Chain A
Amino acid sequence: KNEVEQSPQNLTAQEGEFITINCSYSVGISALHWLQQHPGGGIVSLFMLSSGKKKHGRLIATINIQEKHSSLHITASHPRDSAVYICAVAKGGSEKLVFGKGTKLTVNP
C-alpha cells in the first residue's frame, strides 16, 4: 500500500462546480503539500500545511493530523483549473517528499 493515497484518480466537472480532492497518508509527517501539474510537466506549489486550513483565492486546503487526511477544495471551478493535483508529504525526520499518484481534474465549460 502506498504511503500517500489520493482519491479520486480522475474527476470531471462542469464549470462552476465545487471540487473536492482527498489525500490520506499512513506515516507521521512534518508537512503536507498540495501541488498542481499542468501538461508539459511543470509543478506549482499550491499549499504547504502542517495543521488547520489555508485559503488562496478559490482554493482551500484542510488537514486533520489525527485522522491523517487532507482535502483540497476548489470553489467555482473553471476550465483553467484542469490539471493534475498532487498531494505530497514530508515524512517526520526526513527532508524528502513522498507523493501520491495525483488526481486528474478536467473542468468542462
Chain B
Amino acid sequence: DTGVSQDPRHKITKRGQNVTFRCDPISEHNRLYWYRQTLGQGPEFLTYFQNEAQLEKSRLLSDRFSAERPKGSFSTLEIQRTEQGDSAMYLCASSNNGRGPEAFFGQGTRLTVV
C-alpha cells in the first residue's frame, strides 16, 4: 500500500472552468476527509465521508463544490465555475480509527485559478 494518493498534484485553470480532483485512500480505511489550505494558513475542514456516506460538510463548501465517494473507495472533489479565491492546496486524508483521523494525508492537489 502506497498510502493516500491524490491526482493531479498541480492544476492551473482559468476562472469559470470546472475542475475535478481525485483521492485514493489507504485501502482498508473507511473514513475519508477533504481539507483546504491557503497560503500561510493551516488546513481547514471541507467534508468527510464514512464509506460512501457524506456525513459532514463545512460551511466553506459552497454550492459550487461537490464531493462524492460512490463506492466507498476513491473520492472526487469537483469545483464548478472556479474563482480566484478557490486557489489553494486541497488535501485528502483517510482513517479507520474511530477516535478521530489517524492523519494519513495525501500529497495534496495545488489549484491555481488564473
Contacts and interface: CB of A to CB of B under 8 A. Distances in A.
Interface residue range, chain B: 20 to 34
Interface of B: 31, 33, 35, 37, 40-45, 48, 50, 55-56, 58, 89, 91, 93, 99-108, 110
Nearest to A90: B100
Contacts of B89: 41
A95 B42 contact: no
A44 B102 CA distance: 11
Interface residues of A, number: 25
29 contacts: A31-B99, A33-B103, A35-B103, A41-B89, A41-B107, A42-B107, A43-B91, A43-B103, A43-B105, A45-B102, A45-B103, A45-B105, A48-B103, A50-B99, A86-B42, A86-B43, A88-B43, A95-B31, A95-B50, A96-B56, A96-B101, A97-B45, A97-B100, A97-B101, A98-B45, A99-B44, A100-B42, A101-B40, A102-B41
